């Protein structure tokens, strides 16, 4: 009985368990991730050694629950996860891109609408170029376009950034899931197989795996205990994301626009390429595709802005002023690779705008320092600087590149976001063309004149005040920090003076890396009150590059054209060289202020270091003609003459002519030797008869002029020292440099020195002060050759100051005196004879000693060329060579006083006479040239010069000419020395008097830049350059050849003939260059003598709509040359590109979702709960329970029956 009871009991218990499991299935029928469970019933067998009865041995002990089964299909589960990853990837991509696609495709929000409205406005402007309403409308629509482009770019960029944020969030989630799965793995390893706990853990594991599959595709490797190892991607190769309970973090690494996924970023970082599905992959693709969309928008906006600006700048306003750019946007971004080892820096100009379509290029240097230009993909485009330039990219390399150094050239980034309207007024629309060709109505011929280029026209005079303070003091300077054009001096500036200063206080701002660690923000204050604040809180403060980036992004910096660059461990704010026109308002210490916005002291963090020497003032016309300053090297010119620097397309460098005028304006150039206290010393005497002190050799200009004004702080000292130690002249006087004023004493002295060189001039000693009561007039008798003179020295002071007296020379023979006299500024009487009297003795005989003493002429002898006194005549046959006018003469002693003089051919010469004259203590050699060679330098070359007494110079000359200061000696002297010293804070100065007829570009070609001050009389905002017109007249110069015609080009303003060219009756092409004009054109059709044409420039023509029509026609024109499409079509193509991508993604998504749903259905069929089935099970197990109870009841009845047996 007990057995039957046990059997019945086991049935009740098993059924109850089954009912419990069924109930659990029923209540979890809608639970996500729940797998249906079922009990595994087994017959409970009796143990073999328990029963003594054979019958017993054949029966069992009822039923028992062997196991709790969990409905599962591992294969389907894995397949479902793959399908889930794929569908989720596409769903994410589709969702993210759809929004942007809708915005890009909507003409209300993309660029089509604003562009069409702008074209409408341009078209209206073309119809009514003189209507204010049309111009206003065009300005408004230009602003709308710029604003729309900027907003669109910002929107797409924000969506891209949002994708990046989501990737980071998703990776955090992935890492959390992996950690949770690691925990589940631990639990599973400990749990008992078939237990309810285990089954629950497996469900939880699968739920987590499903969640993980939504984020990223992975491969799960399941072990027998239910734990899983996870690998990214679709195989179990590589490093696992999860192994047992050990997880490896997954992180994002961003480098520019490139995204990489890194396993174990804080341990052993390893970039993985196994991110192939799930949201993460979808978001990454979103990020990349939106990046391409941004590039596309940037390219279009840059291309459009460039095209509009090019047209605008090719035209003139209704007032006849050249068009300024309508749009402004950021320039080319050059990024050096972080691993670069060399010091090379690049400046880049793009000669072919269509290259911007490449968007980004790379430059890489090899062992030899040769750059190679490649696409981002690595495809080589050109190698070597010239080949790269031929390709269209002009590179200038500063410094030295190491092998492998690389740079990225980004032509487009930020263009759309940064675009703004640069015009300040609607009147600045260049609606017309500068040139108007007129055909005389009286022409009999039918020829049509065409002119391609003609003359450079100036731009609107404005903006100079933004850089210069209109003062020539050194308290406000402009400093370019890299080579390049500094600024544009617009036409219309009156009486411009530019001065470059040697200004030691010019500041280069250096921030040390360590100092930057504590900054929250950086404020740069400019002297004009503007300031730039760079937020550093979001930057990685250990990275200077972030700060550099911040500076570059700062709007004010951008508007000033700054590029901050990293150099070593310090930050330098430098301006781009060939790339931009720049100017930094700077001043001595303190005017460029860097300080922390949080108020912390930065005094230790900022250092102001001295700038280098001042630069020369170099002015260029837009077509490359250098107007002032020393010439520059061709290589510098190549880097400088770019469109970005303001030069005209095709500008060619023309070195300065060095003349004193420029297009009718007086051009003064004042150049000074470089260096403070620069000293030029002749060394130990004038071994050569000529000593050039060439100022130009010191970096200053070639010509020295002045108007007679003293320059601030400038002093000059010229000292000539005679062999006996007597200082001939010492002039600590600025007027030495003022020799442009003939009335100045300095000029008189120089004249005197000049005249003295080969004449009989005399210079006295310093005139002593006269005693009171002395005569106001002193007469000095002088004889020169056969003539005699009275030199009258008349002083007006009391007591008389002969050092300031006037000097008059009276010829005693009543003729014109050929002797001049004067008082030098330092107070000496100077007498000069003309060169024709060279060699004639000038004597002071017949004067009283008192007169000679009063005028400092005591002891002053003849200036005839003489040697020093020798005690004996040279031995017969000894010789002495001198050169005279390039010829060498030999003087040979013959025992008498007179020497034999022979020329290089050995012939006796009458060019030079030489004889010894007995003097007290010995003899002196006198040399006398023929009058024809008077003034010609005589140079001793013989080794026996000492024997001949040629060790002293009595005569010399000084002059200032285009080569600088030149000193000449009449003969050799080992002892005479010259010393010239300068002190000046000014390096050079250029002055242009009158309104500038065209723009000039002020350029600094020096790497360290210069301080330059500018001063001008006025900036006339309404200044209109004088109109210019050229008449082309056709004539027949030779009646016998009527078919031979002559074209005469005449400047109608000046009446000057620019040039003449021959032509035939059918016209022909011509090129005429001269007098500021540069004609390229031609005449086509019948030409007849008497025909006339006019080409007119610079006139305001409010009704001229030719340029406005070109702006309007841009709507139809190919944006990037032939083979391209119009801007609007390109905008459509860009939006269609994304729309296509979205459509493809959606299609793929539909398929992926179908696949996923189908697999999910199959998987659900295997693992899901069907309530009907559970209801059936419920009934079944209930019946089993009741039956088992009946078994128990039967056993009880049987048991009771046995108990009732008596």
Binding site for other proteins (CB under 8 A): 29-30, 36, 98, 101-102, 104-105, 107, 112, 116, 119-120, 123, 126-131, 318, 432, 436, 438-439, 441-442, 1096, 1099-1106, 1108-1109, 1112-1113, 1115-1116, 1126, 1128-1129, 1132-1133, 1135-1136, 1139-1140, 1142-1143, 1146, 1160-1161, 1164-1165, 1167-1173, 1175-1176, 1178-1179
Would you report the helix, strand and coil content of the chain in percent, each value rounded to 5? 30, 30, 40
Rounded Cα distance between 130 and 124, Å, is 11
Rounded Cα distance between 496 and 488, Å, is 13
Compare residues 979 and 1117 and give the one whose CB is closer to other proteins: 1117
Compare residues 436 and 981 and give the one whose CB is closer to other proteins: 436
- End-to-end Cα distance, the chain: 18
Compare residues 247 and 1132 and give the one whose CB is closer to other proteins: 1132
Rounded Cα distance between 578 and 633, Å, is 15
Burial tier of 206 (Cβ tally within 10 Å: 0-12, 13-18, 19+): buried
Find the shortest distance in angstroms from Cβ 450 to other proteins: 15
Rounded Cα distance between 213 and 753, Å, is 100
* Closest by CA position to 1065, among listed 1047, 1044, 1038, 1081: 1044
Find the shortest distance in angstroms from Cβ 601 to other proteins: 57
Find the shortest distance in angstroms from Cβ 101 to other proteins: 5
Find the shortest distance in angstroms from Cβ 95 to other proteins: 12
Strand partners, 375: 361
Q: φ and ψ at 621, to 5 degrees?
A: -85, 165
Compare residues 367 and 1172 and give the one whose CB is closer to other proteins: 1172
Residue listed under structure tokens 């691993």: 339
CA angle (1074 as vertex; 1073, 1076 as ends), nearest 5: 105
Which tokens belong to 306? 């460039």
Find the shortest distance in angstroms from Cβ 1047 to other proteins: 20
Compare residues 968 and 1167 and give the one whose CB is closer to other proteins: 1167
Rounded Cα distance between 517 and 540, Å, is 9
Rounded Cα distance between 242 and 248, Å, is 6
Q: φ and ψ at 708, to 5 degrees?
A: 95, 10
Residue listed under structure tokens 């600045």: 428
Find the shortest distance in angstroms from Cβ 1027 to other proteins: 11
- Residue 154 CB contacts under 8 Å (≥ 6 apart), including other chains: 417
Compare residues 430 and 865 and give the one whose CB is closer to other proteins: 430
Compare residues 119 and 668 and give the one whose CB is closer to other proteins: 119
* Total Cβ atoms within 10 A of residue 661: 12
Compare residues 880 and 1127 and give the one whose CB is closer to other proteins: 1127
Which tokens belong to 1180? 């079944």
Rounded Cα distance between 207 and 392, Å, is 58
CA distances (Å), origin 515, targets 79, 692, 783: 57, 52, 81
Rounded Cα distance between 1039 and 598, Å, is 88
Find the shortest distance in angstroms from Cβ 1112 to other proteins: 5
Residue listed under structure tokens 């990349």: 288
Find the shortest distance in angstroms from Cβ 319 to other proteins: 10
Find the shortest distance in angstroms from Cβ 1165 to other proteins: 6
Long-range contacts of 230-238 (CB under 8 A, 24+ apart): 230/178, 230/181, 231/274, 232/263, 232/272, 232/274, 232/275, 233/272, 233/274, 233/275, 233/276, 234/82, 234/276, 238/272, 238/274
Compare residues 550 and 1025 and give the one whose CB is closer to other proteins: 1025
Find the shortest distance in angstroms from Cβ 80 to other proteins: 13
In eight-state DSSP terms, residue 1064 is: B
Rounded Cα distance between 157 and 151, Å, is 10
Compare residues 566 and 1146 and give the one whose CB is closer to other proteins: 1146
Find the shortest distance in angstroms from Cβ 486 to other proteins: 36
Compare residues 118 and 1003 and give the one whose CB is closer to other proteins: 118
**Which DSSP string corresponds to 190-259?**
HSPTT-HHHHHHHHHHHHHHHHHHHHS-EEEEE-TTS-EEEEESSSS-SSEEEETTEE--EEEEEETTEE
Which tokens belong to 407? 């740079």
**C-alpha atoms less than 13 angstroms from C-alpha of 922 in its C-beta half-sphere:** 14
Find the shortest distance in angstroms from Cβ 414 to other proteins: 26
Compare residues 309 and 1145 and give the one whose CB is closer to other proteins: 1145
Find the shortest distance in angstroms from Cβ 323 to other proteins: 16
Find the shortest distance in angstroms from Cβ 1124 to other proteins: 15
Find the shortest distance in angstroms from Cβ 1053 to other proteins: 16
Find the shortest distance in angstroms from Cβ 318 to other proteins: 8
In eight-state DSSP terms, residue 697 is: G
Compare residues 470 and 1126 and give the one whose CB is closer to other proteins: 1126
Residue listed under structure tokens 């003459």: 641
Compare residues 33 and 692 and give the one whose CB is closer to other proteins: 33
Find the shortest distance in angstroms from Cβ 1049 to other proteins: 19
Compare residues 139 and 1111 and give the one whose CB is closer to other proteins: 1111
Compare residues 128 and 881 and give the one whose CB is closer to other proteins: 128
Compare residues 609 and 1154 and give the one whose CB is closer to other proteins: 1154
Rounded Cα distance between 154 and 335, Å, is 22
Longest dimension (CA), the chain: 196
Report which secondary-structure segment, H or E, holds 3. helix 2-27
Which tokens belong to 431? 């609606």
Find the shortest distance in angstroms from Cβ 325 to other proteins: 21
Which tokens belong to 9? 């009991």
**C-alpha atoms less than 13 angstroms from C-alpha of 439 in its C-beta half-sphere:** 15
Compare residues 202 and 1128 and give the one whose CB is closer to other proteins: 1128
């Amino acid at each position: 009985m007990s057995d039957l009871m046990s059997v019945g009991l086991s049935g009740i218990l098993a059924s109850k368990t089954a009912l419990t499991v069924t109930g659990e299935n029923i209540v979890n029928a809608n639970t996500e991730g729940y797998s249906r469970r079922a009990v595994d019933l087994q017959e409970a067998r009796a143990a073999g050694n328990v029963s003594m009865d054979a019958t017993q041995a054949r029966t069992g002990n009822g039923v028992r629950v062997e196991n709790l089964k969990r409905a599962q299909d591992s294969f389907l589960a894995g397949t479902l996860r793959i399908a889930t990853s794929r569908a989720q990837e596409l769903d994410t991509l589709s969702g993210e891109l759809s929004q942007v696609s809708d915005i890009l495709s909507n003409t209300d929000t993309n660029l089509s609408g604003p562009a069409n409205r702008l074209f409408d406005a341009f078209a209206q402007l073309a119809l009514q170029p003189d209507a204010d309403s049309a111009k206003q409308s065009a300005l408004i629509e230009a602003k709308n376009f710029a604003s729309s482009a900027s907003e669109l770019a910002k929107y797409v960029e924000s969506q891209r950034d949002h994708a990046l944020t989501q990737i980071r969030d998703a990776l955090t989630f992935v890492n959390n899931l992996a950690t949770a799965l690691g925990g589940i793995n631990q639990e599973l390893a400990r749990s008992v197989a078939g237990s309810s706990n285990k089954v629950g853990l497996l469900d939880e594991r699968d739920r987590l795996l499903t969640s993980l599959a939504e984020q990223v595709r992975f491969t799960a490797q399941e072990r027998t205990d239910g734990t899983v190892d996870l690998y990214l991607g679709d195989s179990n190769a590589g490093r696992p994301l999860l192994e047992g309970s050990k997880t490896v973090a997954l992180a994002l690494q961003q480098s520019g626009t490139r995204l990489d996924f890194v396993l174990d970023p804080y341990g052993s970082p390893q970039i993985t390429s196994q991110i192939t599905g799930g949201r993460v992959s979808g978001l990454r693709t979103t990020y990349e595709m939106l990046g391409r969309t941004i590039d596309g928008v940037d390219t279009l906006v840059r291309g459009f802005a460039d095209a509009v600006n090019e047209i605008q700048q090719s035209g003139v306003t209704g007032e006849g002023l050249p068009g300024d750019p309508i749009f402004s946007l950021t320039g080319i971004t050059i990024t050096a690779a972080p691993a670069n080892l060399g010091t090379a820096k690049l400046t880049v100009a793009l000669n072919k705008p269509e290259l911007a379509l490449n968007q980004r290029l790379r430059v890489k240097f090899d062992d030899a320092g040769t750059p190679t230009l490649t696409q981002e993909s690595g495809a080589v485009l050109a190698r070597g600087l010239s080949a790269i330039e031929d390709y269209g990219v002009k590179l200038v390399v500063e410094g030295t590149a190491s092998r492998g150094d690389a740079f990225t050239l980004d032509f487009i980034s930020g263009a759309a976001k940064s675009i703004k309207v640069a015009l300040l007024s609607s009147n600045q629309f260049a609606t017309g063309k500068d040139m108007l060709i007129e055909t005389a109505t009286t022409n009999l011929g039918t020829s049509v004149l065409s002119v391609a280029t003609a003359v450079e026209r100036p731009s609107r005079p404005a903006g100079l005040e933004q850089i210069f303070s209109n003062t020539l003091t050194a308290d406000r300077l402009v400093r370019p920090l890299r080579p390049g054009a500094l600024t544009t001096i617009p036409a219309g500036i009156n009486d411009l003076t530019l001065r470059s200063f040697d200004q030691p206080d010019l500041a280069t701002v250096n921030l040390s890396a360590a100092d930057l660690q504590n900054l929250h923000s950086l404020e740069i204050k400019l002297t004009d009150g503007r300031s730039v604040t760079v937020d550093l809180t979001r930057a990685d403060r250990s990275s200077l590059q972030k700060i550099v980036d911040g500076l570059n992004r700062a709007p004010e910096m951008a508007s000033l054209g700054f590029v901050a660059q990293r150099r070593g461990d310090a930050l330098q704010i430098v301006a781009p060289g060939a790339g931009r026109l720049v100017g930094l308002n700077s001043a001595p210490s303190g005017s460029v202020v860097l300080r922390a916005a949080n108020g912390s002291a930065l005094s230790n963090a900022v250092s102001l270091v001295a700038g280098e020497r001042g630069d020369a003032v170099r002015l260029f016309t837009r077509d490359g003609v250098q107007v002032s300053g020393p010439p520059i090297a061709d290589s510098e010119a190549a880097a400088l003459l770019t469109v970005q620097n303001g030069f005209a397309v095709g500008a060619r460098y023309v070195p300065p002519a060095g003349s004193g005028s420029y297009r009718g304006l007086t051009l003064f150039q004042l150049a000074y030797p470089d260096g403070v206290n620069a000293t030029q010393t002749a060394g130990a005497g004038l071994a050569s008869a000529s000593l050039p002190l060439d100022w130009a050799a010191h970096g200053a200009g070639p010509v020295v002029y002045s108007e007679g004004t003293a320059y601030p702080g400038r002093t000059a000292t010229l000292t000539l020292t005679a062999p006996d130690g007597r200082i001939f002249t010492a002039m600590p006087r600025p007027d030495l440099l003022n020799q442009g004023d003939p009335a100045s004493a300095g000029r008189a002295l120089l004249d005197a020195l000049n005249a003295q060189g080969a004449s009989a001039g005399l210079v006295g000693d310093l005139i002593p002060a006269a005693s009171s009561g002395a005569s106001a007039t002193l007469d000095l008798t002088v004889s020169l050759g056969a003539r005699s003179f009275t030199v009258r020295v008349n002083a007006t002071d009391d007591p008389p100051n002969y050092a300031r007296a006037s000097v008059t020379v009276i010829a005693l023979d009543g003729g014109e005196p050929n002797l001049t006299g004067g008082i030098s500024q330092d107070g000496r009487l100077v007498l000069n004879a003309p060169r024709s009297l060279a060699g004639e003795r000038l004597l002071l005989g017949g004067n009283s000693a008192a007169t000679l003493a009063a005028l400092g002429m005591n002891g002053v002898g003849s200036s005839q060329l003489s040697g020093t006194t020798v005690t004996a005549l040279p031995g017969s046959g000894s010789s002495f060579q001198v050169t005279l006018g390039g010829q060498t003469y030999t003087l040979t002693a013959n025992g008498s006083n007179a020497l034999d003089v022979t020329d290089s051919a050995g012939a006796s010469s009458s060019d030079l006479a030489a004889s010894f004259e007995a003097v007290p203590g010995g003899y002196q050699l006198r040399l006398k040239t023929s009058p024809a060679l008077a003034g010609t330098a005589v140079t001793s070359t013989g080794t026996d010069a000492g024997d001949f007494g040629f060790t002293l110079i009595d005569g010399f000359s000084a002059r200032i000419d285009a080569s600088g200061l030149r000193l000449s000696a009449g003969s050799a002297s080992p002892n005479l020395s010259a010393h010239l010293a300068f002190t000046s804070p000014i390096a050079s100065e250029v002055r242009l008097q009158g309104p500038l007829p065209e723009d000039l570009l002020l350029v600094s070609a020096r790497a360290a830049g210069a301080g330059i001050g500018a001063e001008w009389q006025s900036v006339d905002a309404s200044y209109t350059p004088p109109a210019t017109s050229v008449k082309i007249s056709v004539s027949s110069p030779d009646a016998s050849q009527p078919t031979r015609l002559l074209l005469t080009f005449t400047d109608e303003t000046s009446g000057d003939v620019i040039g003449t060219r021959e032509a035939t009756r059918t016209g022909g092409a011509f090129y005429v260059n001269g007098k500021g004009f540069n004609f390229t054109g031609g005449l086509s059709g019948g030409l007849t003598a008497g025909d006339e044409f006019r080409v007119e420039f610079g006139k305001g023509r409010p009704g001229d709509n030719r340029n406005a029509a070109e702006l309007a026609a841009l709507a139809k024109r190919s944006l990037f040359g032939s083979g391209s499409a119009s801007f609007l079509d390109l905008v459509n193509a860009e939006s269609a590109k994304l729309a296509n991508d979205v459509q493809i993604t959606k299609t793929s998504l539909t398929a992926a979702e179908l696949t996923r749903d189908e697999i999910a259905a199959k998987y659900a069929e295997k693992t899901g709960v069907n309530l009907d089935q559970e209801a059936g099970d419920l009934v079944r197990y209930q019946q089993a329970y009741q039956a088992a109870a009946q078994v128990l009841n039967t056993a009880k009845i049987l048991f009771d029956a046995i108990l009732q047996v008596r």
